Amino acid sequence: MSAIQVQELTRYYGTRAAVDKLSFDVPAGSVFGLLGPNGAGKSTTIKMLTTLLPPTSGTALIGGYDINEAPSMVRQIIGYVPQQLSADGELSGYENLLLSAKLYGLNSKNQTRRVDEVLEFMGLSEFRNELVNQYSGGMIRRLEIGQALLHEPQVLFLDEPSVGLDPVARKSLWSHIEEWRKAFGTTILLTTHDMDEADKLCDQVIFMHLGHIVAMDTPANLKATLGLNATLDDVFVHYTGTSIKEGGDFNNVQQIRRTISRLD
């Protein structure tokens, strides 16, 4: 069963299509990665799927609900963590979560129960009463994801969840996301510029470039099409051609990278 069905989703800004007739399905319970260079249209796609931005044309079904026709139903079954900081630094972790619980309309008994559960699950119980401006970047991201999970959404949208995190904080975030998915079967759609992260977390990925899908498959299959030892970074360069300016074909690029990594 598909948790997300995207059908020719399109968004213009002026005369330019930021997202152009995008179509894909995300199986329920899977982790799906939206990848691509800056400006590819990833955040615009997520904003349409979360009903924050109306599509110019096309639509999507989230848990069977149409984003154009039943946006309030969609909002009830999704969680969203935006690319920008969303937690309030002047409040404690507990207060941030309680505020979100109220916004989601949880009844007062459930509010404190869910806030305690989420704090525990995200490894933040011991810091619950500290102001968020004292939290590390990793703790803030875990808190923000926790805020989006309070109402037990079927589908969770994460726009660059690990941006700015150090490797340890990033790995800790990945394990929290994986544990959450295993425990609750939540479908997760995320964007990231970290190809290791996409490789580790995602069952399937899409590479977007200038609003179009240029590749869609499992990370393993995509790497295999480029040959032995190819990484998802290589796949990124191959399909979007953006991050390496030296020119040359894939083999040249791979060789350059191997040489660089030997010098490290």
Ligand X SMILES: Nc1ncnc2c1ncn2[C@@H]1O[C@H](COP(=O)(O)OP(=O)(O)OP(=O)(O)O)[C@@H](O)[C@H]1O
What residue ranges bind ligand X (CB under 6 A)? Answer: 13, 18, 36, 38-44, 83
Q: What is the 3-state secondary structure (H, E, C) of 128-196?
A: CCCEHHHCCHHHHHHHHHHHHHCCCCCEEEEECCCCCCCHHHHHHHHHHHHHHHHHHCCEEEEECCCHH
Distance in Å, CB of 160 to ligand X, minimum: 7
Distance in Å, CB of 158 to Mg ion, minimum: 11
- Give 140's strand partners: none
**Contact of residue 110 among ligand X, Mg ion, none (CB under 5-8 Å per partner type):** none
Closer to Mg ion by Cβ: residue 39 or 64: 39
Residues 243, 236 contacting (CB under 8 angstroms): yes
Distance in Å, CB of 205 to ligand X, minimum: 14
Integer Cα distance of 164 and 8 in angstroms: 32
Of all residues in this chain, which one has the CB nearest to Mg ion in the complex? 43
**Contact of residue 39 among Mg ion, ligand X, none (CB under 5-8 Å per partner type):** ligand X
Which tokens sit at 93?
């972790």
The residue type of 206 is I
Among the listed residues 67, 53, 52, 51, the one whose alpha carbon sits nearest the alpha carbon of residue 12: 53
Closer to ligand X by Cβ: residue 31 or 208: 208
Integer Cα distance of 262 and 178 in angstroms: 32
Closer to ligand X by Cβ: residue 16 or 258: 16
Distance in Å, CB of 83 to Mg ion, minimum: 5
Closer to ligand X by Cβ: residue 52 or 224: 52
Among the listed residues 36, 35, 39, 38, the one whose alpha carbon sits nearest the alpha carbon of residue 11: 39
3-state DSSP assignment of residue 61: strand
Distance in Å, CB of 44 to ligand X, minimum: 3
Judged by the rule CB under 5 A, the positions of this chain that interact with Mg ion are 42-43
The residue type of 126 is E
Closer to Mg ion by Cβ: residue 38 or 107: 38
Beta strand segments in the chain, E: 2-13, 16-27, 31-35, 57-62, 65-66, 78-81, 155-159, 187-191, 204-209, 212-217
Closer to ligand X by Cβ: residue 99 or 210: 210
**Contact of residue 182 among Mg ion, ligand X, none (CB under 5-8 Å per partner type):** none
Distance in Å, CB of 96 to ligand X, minimum: 24
Closer to Mg ion by Cβ: residue 43 or 187: 43
Distance in Å, CB of 144 to ligand X, minimum: 16
**Contact of residue 13 among ligand X, Mg ion, none (CB under 5-8 Å per partner type):** ligand X
